Amino acid sequence: MATEGSQSFPPQFREWVEGFASRSPSRFALLVFATLIAVFTFLLSQPFASASGKTTNFADALFSAVSTICVAGLSTVDMATYWSPLGNAIVFTGTQVGALGVLTLASILGAIISGRLGLRARLMAASDTNPLRLHSGPVSEGQAIRLGEVGGLLATVALSLVIIESVIAALMLPSVLAAGYPLGESIWFSFYYSAMSFTNTGFTPNVGGLEMFAGDYWFLTLIMVGVLLGSVGFPVIYALSRNLKNPRKWSLHVKITLVTWAILWVGGVIAYLLLEPENSLVFAGMGPGELTYQAAFLSTMARSGGFNLVDIGQLDSSTLLMTDMLMFIGGGSASTAGGIKVTTFAVLILAALSEARGRSSIEAFGRTIPQDVLRLAVSVGLWGATTVAVGALLVSEFTDAAFEYVLFDVISAFATVGMSTGLTATLPDEGLYVMSIVMFMGRVGTVTLAAALAASQVGQFFRRPEERPIVG
């Protein structure tokens, strides 16, 4: 599909794009996202986009565009009332384009990493019909991506997205109708909520937001399912759709992602139950069942969903810190979730565990994880920590808010979670620019960093003598 579409461009342009994308896929990804953000900033700033018919100022338009394209879900305006119907359509389209873009780009970049060092590209290793096959090209094998193949992958991703979102929307519709909205609005809200959950964005289209469905466990569970599917990542969804009942065929990536996702999710639920009930402001008077559901909802949303049923600013410091950690780790690779990704975290933990068990190699599920993957994981982790630290330092210069709020909102931006203590909406323009950069860094940075590092790998012809410093 995309292949056909690209034939309408002049051949020179197409060749230039292909060449650029092949030579430096990471820079190409950065350029694509930056261009999308520029286009959507322009669109959202126009009078036709706002309900009031006025021009939206640059800081708000930029922030909304970044938040939309990066499927972050943070907002400085009331998403339910600020935009015109056309503005809402632009936002909706932006999340779809952003989600498709990040899923496709991350899948491609992931394939590049997998394909590096001459390994067979095993992005969707469990499948026999890999939609993304890497040709050898003028640059080293594993780095050459043709637009036609990108088109094929894009079509697969888009199809999955449309199917999943439509099914969830259809299941949501009765709940929205039951909440008393008219049919037309209900259909729109269903698709909007479905899209915002699968893309892990977290915007809400209706006045009152998700709290209008606070007692509707069917609806809330569908939100959680959408967030879960979006946040495990496309390679996992693809592998599961092929081999759901045959775990022996799952790749190491799928196994690590699912197990780490599950451990963090259960750990989050338990931690919230242990930490929060004493805080009478938020979970006061709830029975054990409702309390557990709320904890499960919060644990899911911390993965990067960003919907919230409770006032985040009212949560206890310790609950905020717990959420900080879950958000920072985020979801699966090549997913709509942000953070450093569960596999990155898992590789770091596995390295420590291997060391503790006295193994000289990092092992999981009967496989050895090469040492260069650990270096990539360390790089991504440090990148995340540095982005959050610098972002928090800068934002705290622009506000008098409590530091736990600054840290929470900055990590929420980095991991494109979208939950907010309320701080973001009160930031001055300089603060919004910092938050926009943090979102961009978190969304495009973590995804491209590993690929950029992997692509820069050069052969080494000699090895220097070993010497070990004392650590710890």
Subset of 141-200 contacting a copy of itself (CB under 8 A): none
Footprint (CB under 5 A) of K ion, residues 379-418: 416-418
- The 194-223 contact track toward K ion, x by CB under 5 A, reads ------x-x---------------------
- Among residues 369, 411, 434, 435, the one that binds a copy of itself under rule CB under 8 A: 369
Residue 471 as a binder of a copy of itself (CB under 8 A): the answer is yes
- Among residues 1, 178, 270, 382, the one that binds a copy of itself under rule CB under 8 A: 382
What the block records as the tokens of 131 is 């939609």
Residue with tokens 């206890």: 316
* Residue 72 Cβ vs K ion, minimum distance, rounded to whole Å: 5
- Among residues 258, 282, 376, 434, the one that binds a copy of itself under rule CB under 8 A: 376
- Among residues 34, 170, 317, 428, the one that binds a copy of itself under rule CB under 8 A: 317
* Residue 374 Cβ vs a copy of itself, minimum distance, rounded to whole Å: 6
187 or 349: CB nearest a copy of itself? 349
- Give, in order, the Cα–Cα distances in Å from 401 to each of 24, 330, 354, 406, 427: 41, 25, 42, 7, 10
Residue 263 as a binder of a copy of itself (CB under 8 A): the answer is no
Residue 435 as a binder of a copy of itself (CB under 8 A): the answer is no
321 exposure class (CB count in 10 Å sphere: 0-12, 13-18, 19+): middle
Footprint (CB under 8 A) of a copy of itself, residues 264-293: 275, 278
From the list K ion, a copy of itself, none, pick the one residue 361 interacts with, judged by a Cβ distance below 5 to 8 Å according to partner type: a copy of itself
Give the count of beta carbons closer than 10 Å to the beta carbon of residue 51. 16
316 or 429: CB nearest a copy of itself? 316
Cα gap 467→85, rounded to integer Å: 64
- Among residues 15, 262, 368, 422, the one that binds a copy of itself under rule CB under 8 A: 368
From the list K ion, a copy of itself, none, pick the one residue 145 interacts with, judged by a Cβ distance below 5 to 8 Å according to partner type: none
* Residue 416 Cβ vs a copy of itself, minimum distance, rounded to whole Å: 14
Contacts of 437 (CB under 8 A, 6+ apart): 391
Residue with tokens 């710890």: 472
Cα gap 398→440, rounded to integer Å: 20
Residue 247 as a binder of a copy of itself (CB under 8 A): the answer is no
Residue 337 as a binder of a copy of itself (CB under 8 A): the answer is no
Question: CB–CB of 138/130 below 8 Å?
Answer: no
Residue 245 as a binder of a copy of itself (CB under 8 A): the answer is no
Residue 24 as a binder of K ion (CB under 5 A): the answer is no
What single letter denotes the amino acid at residue 336?
T
48 or 403: CB nearest a copy of itself? 403
- Among residues 101, 235, 305, 331, the one that binds a copy of itself under rule CB under 8 A: 235
Q: b or e along 386-416 (b: 16 or more beta carbons within 10 Å of the residue's beta carbon)? A: ebbeebbebbbebbebeebbbbbbbbbbbbb
Question: CB–CB of 266/337 below 8 Å?
Answer: no
What the block records as the tokens of 173 is 């519709």
- Among residues 195, 347, 432, 444, the one that binds a copy of itself under rule CB under 8 A: 347
- Among residues 25, 101, 233, 306, the one that binds K ion under rule CB under 5 A: 306
Cα gap 200→228, rounded to integer Å: 9
What the block records as the tokens of 152 is 């094929």
DSSP letter for 341, please: -
- The 88-127 contact track toward a copy of itself, x by CB under 8 A, reads ----------------------x--xx----x--xx-x--
- Among residues 104, 354, 416, 421, the one that binds a copy of itself under rule CB under 8 A: 354
Cα gap 114→119, rounded to integer Å: 7
166 or 318: CB nearest a copy of itself? 318
Question: CB–CB of 376/450 below 8 Å?
Answer: yes
Residue nearest to K ion (CB): 306
Give the containing element (helix H, strand E) for 65. Answer: helix 58-69
207 or 356: CB nearest a copy of itself? 356
Cα gap 249→425, rounded to integer Å: 47
Footprint (CB under 5 A) of K ion, residues 56-75: 73
Cα gap 101→169, rounded to integer Å: 22
Cα gap 130→124, rounded to integer Å: 6
Cα gap 363→254, rounded to integer Å: 15
* Residue 277 Cβ vs K ion, minimum distance, rounded to whole Å: 26
Query: From the centroid of its chain, how far is CA 90?
Result: 20
Question: CB–CB of 340/449 below 8 Å?
Answer: no
- Among residues 304, 343, 420, 421, the one that binds a copy of itself under rule CB under 8 A: 343
Instruction: Choose the stretch contacting a copy of itself; rule: CB under 8 A; options: 134-142, 149-157, 303-311, 369-377.
Output: 369-377
Residue 257 as a binder of a copy of itself (CB under 8 A): the answer is yes
Task: Note the residues at the interface with K ion (CB under 5 A).
Answer: 73, 200, 202, 306, 416-418
